[in-house]
Structure 1
Amino acid sequence: MICSDEKPRFLELDTALIERTKGFLDAEEGRRLFDVALCASRLGPCLEIGSYCGKSTIYLGTACRANNSVLFAVDPHSGSEEQQPGEEYFDPGTWDIRRGRMDTFPLFSKTLADAGLENTVVPLVARSAVAARQWATPLSLVFIDGGHSFAAAYTDYTCWAGHILPGGYLLIHDIFKNPEEGGQAPYYVYQKALASGLFQELPMTKTLGVLRRLACGELPADLPRGTR
């Protein structure tokens, strides 16, 4: 399924809510998420890994709602490695003093309610590998934005990429081709996906990589011709 040449229908995103929702997603990247999900969700349900407080969920969920589809939102809501106390992306506002740990689920739930997405988004409060263990539902889109260690990013990819329908999309956030600009785990996974031969590379939006799974019988552009 390729929708790039279609004019997207007008849908209003709640930009005020998006701006006040905690998160690390650039607005242009968010709009690209929305546009791809608006296309993909006609084919089947979408899934995101790493919801945090729901900024990306608003973009993806609003698109899914327009097509009467569903967004599965996978996140343990206990924070990734880089969001723990003393780390670069720790936010004291997400710390649960009573439990002595991060807990972003209350903020995430409020975002869903404020965005009117409670009947569209299905929260899966679990680690990616646990949620995937018995998964059997084909997906039209998978958005990887979970932990940014090599182990976490690779686990997310191997657990979920195989569930993407032919013609569906794999999106990966925080891709930095230059190591001096950022961590390399998402880019490593991005390269692995391309090397598999199952995905077509589409234009990136800032650090958001967009890959489309080739449909059955669809040949990649760089496939050698002939028999030699």
Structure 2
Amino acid sequence: MSTTTPPSMPPDLLGAAQRAKGFMPHAEGLALFETAVAYGPLGPICEIGTYCGKSAVYLGAGARQAGSVVLTVDHHRGSEEIQPGWAHHDPTLVDPRFGKMDSLPTFRATIASAGLEEEVIAIVGRSERVAALWNTPLAMLFIDGGHSEEPVTADYEGWAPHVMIGGALAFHDVYPDPADGGQAPYRVYQRVLASGAFKEVRHEGSLRVLERTGPGIG
């Protein structure tokens, strides 16, 4: 990845990202934007875990500068940590007709308000189902779906093989210290490094960015 002066995110998109509902810290969001700008010219960008679209705005802004697109995959029924009774639950996202979480309407409003409907494409479905049908090489993959062992592992195993050599794999919520957060993303991140197929190129808060250097994912 280039070590030149980082690109600047346009003020309107910066404001849209900061206003959007979500959990992405601003510094980490800017790192996503810069990574998308750097790797986007190689091909499409894929995000696993859309929620309400906050990180998709950062990625979409980067994709626009890079001449790329973002495909963001989510069933929009919420990962376990945002279900009723959990700390990150938002009752305004519950669809009373079905008694289930539904972040899709909020996501669509977020992307429309940001003016990024041409750059950000929603794929509504479970990550593992979509991954089983996928065959397009990815310039960048951002994994930020469910954070327990099974979904993080499934997202990695299902999607990482599609990252092209020279492309980027990014993980969110990687916490080496258990006191800071759950350990599943950190364990999968360690597995990625141990595979020898990726090298770390950036670390911003809980965001880790790795570049694929060879075959195999481990």
Shorter-chain TM-score: what band?
over 0.9
Secondary structure of the residue aligned to 1:142 is strand
Aligned to 1:107: 106
- Unpaired stretches in structure 1, ≥5 consecutive residues: 217-228
Partner letter of residue 39 of structure 1? A
* Deviation digits for residues 167-191 of structure 1 (CA, Å, limit 9, x no counterpart): 1111000011011111001001101
Secondary structure at 1:41 match in 2: helix
Cα gap change, 1:8/1:203 in structure 2, threshold over 3 Å: closer, same or farther?
Answer: closer
Q: Tell me the equivalent position of 2:35.
A: 36
User: Which residue does 1:219 correspond to in 2?
Assistant: none
Q: CA RMSD in A?
A: 1.3
**Distance in 1 of aligned mates of 2:15 and 2:168:** 28
Moved over 6 A (4+): none
Question: Alignment identity in percent?
Answer: 46
Q: Give the structure with higher Rg (CA).
A: 1
Any conservation in 1 of the 2:40–2:68 contact (CA below 8 Å)?
A: yes
Letter in 2 for 1:203: R
Q: Which whole-Å CA distance do the structure 2 matches of 1:181 and 1:50 have between them?
A: 21
For the structure 1 residues 26 and 11, does the alpha-carbon distance in structure 2 shift closer, same or farther, using more than 3 Å as the test?
A: closer
1:17 matched to 2:16? The reply is yes
| Equivalent position of 2:49 in the other structure | 50
Aligned to 2:121: 122
Superposed counterparts of 1:178-193, under 5 Å: 178-193=177-192
C-alpha displacement at 1:6, in angstroms?
2.7
Q: Please name the residue that 1:7 is paired with.
A: 5
Pairing of 1:123-142 with structure 2 (within 5 A): 123-142=122-141
Q: Distance in 2 between matches of 1:8 and 1:176?
A: 25
Q: How many residues align?
A: 214
> In the alignment, which residue of structure 1 is the partner of 2:86?
87
CA–CA distance in 1 between the matches of 2:85 and 2:102? 16
Q: How many angstroms apart in 1 are the aligned matches of 2:136 and 2:15? A: 33
- Give CA deviations for 1:94-125 in whole Å, capped at 9, x if unaligned: 11111210000000001111111111111010
Q: Distance in 2 between matches of 1:52 and 1:121?
A: 13
Gapped regions of structure 2 (runs ≥ 5):
none
SS at match of 2:169: strand
Indicate the structure with greater helix content.
2
